[in-house]
């Protein structure tokens, strides 16, 4: 089996998602991005590092919060994400997007007031070690703010299991890759708290929100699915099998997500965790 660098593979998936990421008309990552900036209390003049900035769902609200007297540095390893976010930020001279590996951010210690990481910690092979490195980039009293899916995302629902089962017959087998992001993106409350505690971060607050996403049609759902990192599940379906796979997924949508007002509605529990470096 050909050995593919897991990070290059993940970056490739996000590059292919980038043109439509949070751009299909379905709100998914926008609301938690804005909420993370609010919960972190990001304010005028602060220096913010946004790890895994993607198309800027955290980055742009942070840029608005710090204003021209502050700075926001976005880091992403996916070139198309970086290019599109850089273009969108062209009128904001106090922000910049840079290439880098968020697992090992290359910045001096104590150089930021706030470090944010929106829906990317599950790509870290050792999340506790990553959180400890991120905490070291904060000035004393600075805040680390991350967003994750809440474990209740899968509790009490068979939607994701049914969706996976419906797609499986159409998928090519996946190469097993060490370090590949977990399919299971839930970050259980106690695990997240453990990462923060081990990094000696204090005053941990956890806030849950449920994001309601409306998909006007099954086509809209498919287009949205292709716009997020989970598109890699669809990339395993050979083109000639896509129509049948779509029909199978529509049945699952009809079973689980039908909205009385038309189309489909998903409700996704998410968690924002914020804590402070002592001092
Ligand atoms: C799910 S997206 C989240 C984007 C954005 N933070 C948001 O909340 O919408 C994850 C992003 O993290 C980036 N990413 C994942 N692992 C990374 C790493 N090790 N270094 C840099 N970027 C990474 C991906 O390229 C992608 O843009």
pLDDT of residue 223: 98
Find the mean pLDDT for residues 15-42. 98
Find the mean pLDDT for residues 25-41. 98
Question: What does the alpha-carbon distance between residue 221 and residue 21 come to, in Å, rounded to a whole number?
Answer: 13
Q: Cβ neighbours of residue 43 under 8 Å, at least 6 residues apart?
A: 65, 66
Find the mean pLDDT for residues 68-93. 98
Domain ranges of the chain: 6-276
**8-state DSSP, 152:** G
Residue in the block written with tokens 């509605």: 265
| Residue 22 predicted with pLDDT over 80 | yes
* pLDDT tens digits for range 147-187: 999 876 555 568 888 999 999 999 988 754 433 444 445 56
* pLDDT tens digits for range 96-150: 999 999 999 999 999 999 999 999 999 999 999 999 999 999 999 999 999 999 8
Whether the CB of 21 sits within 6 Å of ligand 1? no
pLDDT of residue 178: 39
DSSP code per residue over 157-184:
--HHHHHHHHHGGGSPPPPP-TTPPPS-
Of the chain, the percentage scoring pLDDT greater than 70 comes to 92
Whether the CB of 127 sits within 6 Å of ligand 1? no
Of the chain, the percentage scoring pLDDT greater than 90 comes to 86
Mutate to test the pocket of ligand 1, among 26, 30, 36, 54 (most ligand atoms within 8 A of CB): 54
H/E segment holding residue 267: strand 264-276
Find the mean pLDDT for residues 208-234. 96
pLDDT of residue 188: 83
Whether the CB of 75 sits within 6 Å of ligand 1? yes
CA-proximal residue: ligand 1, atom 14 (nearest)? 52
Find the mean pLDDT for residues 236-265. 96
Atom nearest to 229 CA in ligand 1? 1
CATH architecture type of domain 6-276: 3-Layer(aba) Sandwich (3.40)
CA-proximal residue: ligand 1, atom 10 (nearest)? 120
Average pLDDT over the chain reads 92
Backbone φ/ψ region at 170: left (φ over 0), alpha (ψ -120 to 50), beta: alpha
* pLDDT tens digits for range 186-206: 568 899 999 999 999 999 999
Find the mean pLDDT for residues 39-43. 98
């Amino acid at each position: 089996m050909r050995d593919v660098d897991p990070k290059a593979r993940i970056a490739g998936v996000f590059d292919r998602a980038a043109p439509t990421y949070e751009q299909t008309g379905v709100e998914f990552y926008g609301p938690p991005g804005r909420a993370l900036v609010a919960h972190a209390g990001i304010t005028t003049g602060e220096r913010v590092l946004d790890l895994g900035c993607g198309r800027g769902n955290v980055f742009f609200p942070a840029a608005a919060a710090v204003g021209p007297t502050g700075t926001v540095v976005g880091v992403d390893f996916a070139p198309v994400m970086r290019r599109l976010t850089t273009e969108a930020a062209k009128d904001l001279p106090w922000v910049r997007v840079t290439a880098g590996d968020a697992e090992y951010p290359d910045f001096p210690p104590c150089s930021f007031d706030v470090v944010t990481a929106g829906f990317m910690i599950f790509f870290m092979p050792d999340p506790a070690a990553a959180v400890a490195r991120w905490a070291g980039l904060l000035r004393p009293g600075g805040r680390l703010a991350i967003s994750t899916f809440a474990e209740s995302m899968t509790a009490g629902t068979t939607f994701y299991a049914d969706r996976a089962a419906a797609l499986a017959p159409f998928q090519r087998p996946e190469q097993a890759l060490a370090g590949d992001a977990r399919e299971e993106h839930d970050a259980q409350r106690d695990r997240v708290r453990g990462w923060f505690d081990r990094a000696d971060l204090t005053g941990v607050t956890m806030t849950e929100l449920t994001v309601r996403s409306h998909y006007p049609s099954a086509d809209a759902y498919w287009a949205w699915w292709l716009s997020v990192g989970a598109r890699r599940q669809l990339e395993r379906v050979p083109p000639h099998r896509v129509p049948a796979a779509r029909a199978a997924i529509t049945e699952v949508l009809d079973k689980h997500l039908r909205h009385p007002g038309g189309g489909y509605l998903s409700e996704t529990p998410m968690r924002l965790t914020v804590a402070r470096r002592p001092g």
